[in-house]
């Protein structure tokens, strides 16, 4: 019996050894094949990943910072696997330049996300339409008809009226509650959204909706919040049903239906007004058009040559609203935060504004065009705090070679503008707020110089640059002219600069500041 027991034990030990040996061989073969595949494919470096989720666990609440940390270890061109989606991350100006200069067409598609599909009528807008002739026509309409320099100037009265209301509200607060603070962040959001909404729809962002007692302001905020919601389908296409189970799709659909109803009413109101009003011609009429008027005129003249033109019409309006709402207020908020942290820059900017405006009763947009240092302040803010730190995602249409690496087709692409614009190889004291760096530096902010790309680059760059910059400069000049600003109960160096990621990356903590009215007689 003892002999039989010993033989069984030896047999079990031999089996265990055999099983372990087979397992080691299998793992070795798998690793070898995987290494050989990567070597043969010559893919960009990839950080270690987990089964199924890939590198998704390394994507924190602030993706631009997570990507930047990974790029320090794995280089300026990385191929991550975010769930089931191969994702290329670009973190250097040289790589971005090579992509745009040599392969921009290959990189000009957009991944059609869950939110974009729902809110832009199946991606019929400009931002998410696939690259091709239809996209070119839509972008041409936006650039020439909606966002041209002439058109942007025509909205000067809208900007002036909204800024007058903003300044008047702050003055009233100063009189009513002397020495108290205002939530400047909220005021900037409200003013920026009012400007955008009036230019697009012809009415204010916070105007209550008469029909069905809907409030467009709340509806717009809900749409923008859901636009940046995490969707399982965007990272795990085969598990998209989870979004339906957890209620995300039904919430987005409800918001989309309500927003669509609102747009239909606005369009109908514009049509009725056009029918009841004698058509006027010339530059005077040009100045009074909002985006809905312009698109209706193009539609009447058969210049919207798209299938389902009404959906395309509304998708473009959604695009303009989403693209213009948060970006301006976010930039203004970060500008004030940086100026408060750097009182010398604040003083220099205010002195320039007050010197150029003089004792006039209002700041004019022509005055802002002469404010060189103010322009440097805005540039430096956009360098340190681009509203979209990781530019809008692209997608490759075919295989392509970049930096001698092979990039597969259908690869999602992120260009980390935040990392590029803080690269110490490109910028001295890259983490510091130094507007003076632009006084004798002709680096262009419109995507021609790859070290400064807050509005994107190439074919997919933002067409609303002029609209955003004019609004930002005019609001900022007025607030610096009419008020001095102080932090309440804390030193300038203690201002909270933490970020919060949403549709844009804004300040986590709102700016509560004490405004001190400026006297023209001082």
Q: What is the 3-state secondary structure (H, E, C) of 13-33?
A: HHHHHHHHHHHHHHHHHHHHH
Q: Is 211 marked as binding a ligand?
A: no
- C-alpha distances in Å from residue 263, one per residue of 78, 259, 269, 343: 42, 6, 10, 44
Tokens of 128: 């998410």
The DSSP output letter for 144 is: I
Answer whether 480's CB lies under 8 Å from 155's CB: no
Residue 496 near residue 509, CB atoms below 8 Å: yes
Q: How far apart are CA 399 and CA 442, in angstroms?
A: 36
Q: Are 334 and 384 in contact (CB under 8 A)?
A: yes
Task: Give a three-class secondary structure readout of 324-382.
Answer: HHHHHHHHHHHHHHHHHHCHHHHHHHHHHHHHHHCCCCCCCHHHHHCCHHHHHHHHHHH
Q: Is 358 left (phi over 0), alpha (psi -120 to 50) or beta?
A: left
- CA 464 – CA 468 distance, rounded (Å): 6
Q: Of 499, 504, 368, 349, whose CA–CA distance to 438 is shortest?
A: 349
**Phi and psi angles of residue 390, each rounded to the nearest 5 degrees, phi first:** -105, 115
Q: Which residues are annotated as a binding site for heme?
A: 462
Q: Which residues are annotated as a binding site?
A: 462
């Amino acid at each position: 019996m003892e002999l039989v027991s010993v033989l069984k034990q030896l047999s079990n030990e031999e089996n265990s050894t055999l099983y372990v040996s087979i397992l080691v061989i299998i793992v070795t073969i798998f690793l070898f094949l995987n290494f050989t595949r990567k070597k043969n494919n010559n893919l960009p470096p990839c950080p270690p990943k987990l089964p199924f989720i890939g590198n998704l666990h390394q994507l924190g609440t602030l993706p631009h910072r997570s990507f930047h940390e990974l790029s320090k270890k794995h280089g300026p061109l990385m191929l991550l696997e975010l769930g089931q989606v191969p994702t290329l991350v670009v973190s250097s100006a040289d790589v971005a330049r090579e992509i745009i200069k040599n392969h921009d067409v290959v990189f000009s598609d957009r991944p059609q996300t869950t939110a974009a599909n729902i809110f832009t009528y199946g991606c019929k807008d400009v931002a998410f339409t696939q690259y091709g002739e239809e996209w070119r026509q839509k972008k041409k309409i936006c650039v020439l008809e909606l966002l041209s320099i002439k058109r942007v100037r025509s909205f000067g009265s809208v900007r002036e009226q909204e800024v007058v209301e903003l300044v008047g509200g702050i003055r009233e607060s100063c009189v009513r509650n002397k020495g108290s603070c205002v939530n400047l962040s909220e005021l900037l959001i409200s003013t920026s959204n009012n400007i955008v909404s009036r230019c697009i729809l012809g009415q204010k962002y916070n105007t209550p909706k008469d029909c069905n007692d809907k409030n467009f302001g709340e509806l717009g905020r809900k749409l923008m919040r859901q636009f940046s919601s995490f969707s399982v389908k965007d990272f795990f296409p085969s598990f998209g049903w989870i979004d339906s189970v957890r209620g995300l799709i039904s919430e987005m659909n409800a918001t989309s239906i309500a927003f669509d109803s609102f747009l239909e009413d606005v369009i109908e109101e514009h049509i009725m007004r056009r029918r009841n009003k004698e058509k006027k011609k010339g530059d005077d009429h040009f100045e009074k058009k909002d985006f809905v008027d312009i698109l209706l005129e193009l539609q009447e003249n058969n210049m919207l040559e798209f299938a389902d033109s009404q959906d395309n019409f509304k998708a473009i309006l959604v695009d303009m609203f989403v693209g213009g709402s948060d970006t301006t207020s976010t930039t203004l908020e970060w500008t004030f935060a940086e100026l408060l942290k750097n009182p010398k820059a604040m003083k220099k900017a205010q002195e320039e504004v007050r010197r150029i405006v003089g004792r006039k009763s209002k700041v004019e947009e022509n005055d802002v065009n002469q404010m060189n240092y103010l322009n440097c302040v805005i540039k430096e803010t956009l360098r340190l705090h681009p509203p979209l730190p990781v530019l809008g995602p692209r997608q490759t249409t075919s295989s392509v070679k970049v930096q001698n690496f092979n990039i597969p087709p259908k690869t999602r692409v992120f260009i980390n503008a935040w990392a590029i614009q803080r690269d110490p190889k490109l910028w001295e004291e890259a983490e510091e707020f130094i507007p003076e760096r632009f006084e004798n530096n002709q680096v262009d902010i419109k995507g021609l110089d790859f070290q400064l790309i807050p509005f994107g680059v190439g074919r997919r760059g933002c067409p609303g640059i002029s609209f955003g910059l004019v609004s930002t400069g005019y609001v900022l000049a007025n607030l610096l002219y009419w008020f001095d600003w102080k932090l309440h109960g804390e030193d300038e160096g203690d201002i909270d600069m933490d970020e919060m990621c949403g549709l844009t990356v804004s300040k986590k903590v709102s700016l509560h500041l004490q405004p001190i009215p400026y006297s023209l007689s001082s």
